[in-house]
Amino acid sequence: MLDDYQGVATRMADWSVIEDEVEVVALREHLHGEEALAEALAGYDIVVTLRERVAFPGSLIARLPRLKLLIASGMRNSVIDYAAADAHGVTVCGTASSGTPPVELTWALLLGLARGVVEESTALRAGGPWQSTVGADLHGARLGLLGLGRIGSRVARVGLAFGMRVSAWSQNLTAERAAEAGVELAASKEELLAGSDFVSVHLALGERTRGLVGAAELALMKPTAYLVNTSRAAIVDQDALLTALHEGRIAGAGVDVFDIEPLPSGHPMRTAPRLLATPHLGYVSRANFAAYYGQAVENIRAYLAGSPVRRLP
């Protein structure tokens, strides 16, 4: 099992049901690069990987001659070369994945930004000033959503509960679909960015969405507006976002996803001003991990019995 940062993978499911057939090994440190992965995984027949933290291109799969079963959390993974897996006789399976944890983290970041929670808490604990920020109001403010799918629509419902005016835009979003979610369809991406007090990204990463929010788009936002991204880092131009934060072009950003993960110690995102950042916690919850690892056990049992389940793609 890869990237067991918290050391909980073996406790999140009942692995004893397969202990007579497999040896369970959890790797807590992230393996950087194909060379390290090939060396570390060469002796394993089964690999469990979390989300899209680790890419499995054909070149890596070819270097893992013992690999027979690759299990990814979630039922969609864009960094696995399925054709190469099939060519090398590797079965790929997925697991359930809830959209609720990223919705909740989105609101944790948005509320933290709006009310200066980190700054005020840090000052209070360090003996600093008693109140130094003036919070931004959610009620009556406009929440603009880039994407109104499984996660974006849930974020919208929370915004409506706060009394926000919620609008959304994506390349395929229709007025009818927006109305079903109780929100307005923005006239364009540019109008949504220019008119929103809070902007939250909830799009899948693809050729049409990579770099969707760049310097020109960030320049459209109000200087009092906030940007939240719990989706994929590459949807927002990272250099343009850093520039906007350093120059105070926007009030702040809440970010859970990065171009490099884990972030190197000297990465500029670690010290950027006006940034509330978390280490890709969007899907990290007890219920999600119980589903990931519980169904990973089921997948292994089914594979060993000759009847794989939840096959990808």
Catalytic residues: 232, 261, 280
Which residue's entry shows tokens 């520039």?
243
CA distance 286 to 198: 28
C-alpha distances in Å from residue 273, one per residue of 57, 241, 265: 36, 11, 16
d(CA 240, CA 304): 49
Question: What is the C-alpha to C-alpha distance for residues 104 and 28, in angstroms, rounded to an integer?
Answer: 25
* 259, two tokens: 């171009």
Is the link from the previous residue into 273 a cis peptide, with omega within 30 of 0?
no
48, β-bridge pairs? 71
The Cα–Cα gap between 203 and 188 comes to 15
Amino acid, single-letter form, for residue 302: A
Token pair in block for residue 42: 């060469």
CA atoms within 13 A on the CB side of 228: 28
**Alpha-carbon Rg for the chain in angstroms:** 21
